[in-house]
């Protein structure tokens, strides 16, 4: 098994910073890359705010926060990744973009480095095939929000070797996570079950079976879900929900995975959920208000 000391993360958005957050608190040095210095700085500010919240709630101490933040360093150029033992891609859920990132990484990483993707639905085998080390490539699918959620799905591509898998499992467990092995099929386990449920809730709204409020209330109280499916879709991002549904529909060729036309319309309108201010709820006021 490879020894992991330094973790490089590509993507300083919500997922990338969540991964950086837990890695730094677990004692790993973190190198953080994104398209601009401004994005990296914004990500680090968000992590500082999240850690401050953890301190206020007694989950970590102020010293642990200070030490953790000091372990996160910006890597504006990928050449900084030469010292990284593990590189985790946490970019947007777009296969073309992810493949471009791995091609750009190739000249800048050492021969022993492991590669991982935080993809929530895309084939690990296909992503690995664009690299010079498919046997050292694996899927590490963290759940959102990373500091809170305990699960990491571990996905092996067809070429992933045993030492890479064992190292990935040990790494995830060192972060205090529980691992679940998923085979390399579209959307893996969690999103294979969860996202079609959200899509079906959107169909229920589209067909007039219930309102936004009625659907979310019914699932929260009738199925004991902590969050209604439409609210959850807004939290995840409706563009991500659509991307995953498209992967399922194209990869499994089953009409039950057809994205709801209303979901497509919301994404086309730029109503992507909480991150854009509007989705199935309008978040621009003091309290969220259903948009339908």
Whether residue 265 has a cis bond before it, omega within 30° of 0: no
Options 89, 93, 153, 231, the catalytic residue: 153
Check if 153 is active-site: yes
Is 79 known to be catalytic? no
Please tell me the distance from the alpha carbon of residue 104 to that of residue 98, in angstroms, as a whole number. 10
227: closest CA among 270, 186, 198?
A: 198
State how far the Cα of 131 lies from the Cα of 128, in Å rounded to an integer.
5
Catalytic hit among 33, 117, 118, 120: 120
Catalytic residue among 123, 141, 231, 243: 141
The closest of 248, 269, 267, 270 to 257, measured between CA atoms, is 248
As a three-state string, the secondary structure of 89-119 is ECCCCCHHHHHHHHHHHHHHCCCCCEEEECC
Give the β-pairing of 86-89 and 6-10. Answer: parallel
Round to whole Å and give the CA distance between 18 and 46: 9
Q: Which of 117, 121, 191, 243 is catalytic?
A: 191
Q: How far apart are CA 90 and CA 245, in angstroms?
A: 19
Catalytically annotated residues:
120, 141, 153, 191
């Amino acid at each position: 098994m490879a020894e992991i000391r330094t973790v490089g993360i590509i993507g300083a958005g919500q997922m990338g910073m969540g991964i950086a957050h837990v890695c730094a608190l677990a004692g790993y040095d973190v190198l953080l890359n994104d398209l601009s210095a401004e994005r990296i700085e914004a990500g680090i500010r968000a992590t500082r705010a999240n850690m401050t919240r953890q301190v206020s709630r007694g989950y970590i101490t102020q010293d642990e926060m200070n030490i953790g933040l000091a372990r996160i360093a910006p890597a504006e150029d990928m050449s900084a990744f030469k010292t990284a033992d593990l590189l985790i891609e946490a970019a947007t859920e777009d296969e073309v973009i992810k493949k471009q990132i791995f091609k750009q990484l190739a000249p800048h990483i050492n021969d022993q480095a492991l590669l991982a993707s935080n993809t929530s639905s895309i084939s690990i085998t296909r992503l690995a095939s664009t690299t010079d080390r498919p046997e050292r490539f694996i899927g590490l699918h963290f759940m959102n929000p990373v500091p809170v959620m305990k699960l990491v799905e571990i996905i092996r591509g067809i070429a992933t070797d045993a030492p890479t898998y064992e190292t990935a499992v040990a790494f995830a467990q060192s972060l205090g996570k529980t691992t679940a092995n998923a085979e390399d099929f579209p959307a893996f386990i969690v999103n294979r079950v969860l996202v079609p449920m959200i899509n079906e809730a959107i169909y229920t709204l589209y067909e007039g079976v219930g309102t936004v409020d009625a659907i979310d209330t019914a699932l929260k109280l009738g199925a004991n879900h902590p969050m209604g499916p439409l609210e959850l879709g807004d939290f995840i991002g409706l563009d991500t929900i659509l991307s995953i549904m498209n992967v399922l529909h194209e990869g499994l060729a089953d009409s039950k995975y057809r994205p709801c036309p209303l979901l497509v319309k919301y994404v086309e309108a730029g109503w992507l959920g909480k991150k854009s201010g509007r989705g199935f709820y309008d978040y621009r006021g003091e309290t969220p208000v259903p948009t339908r």
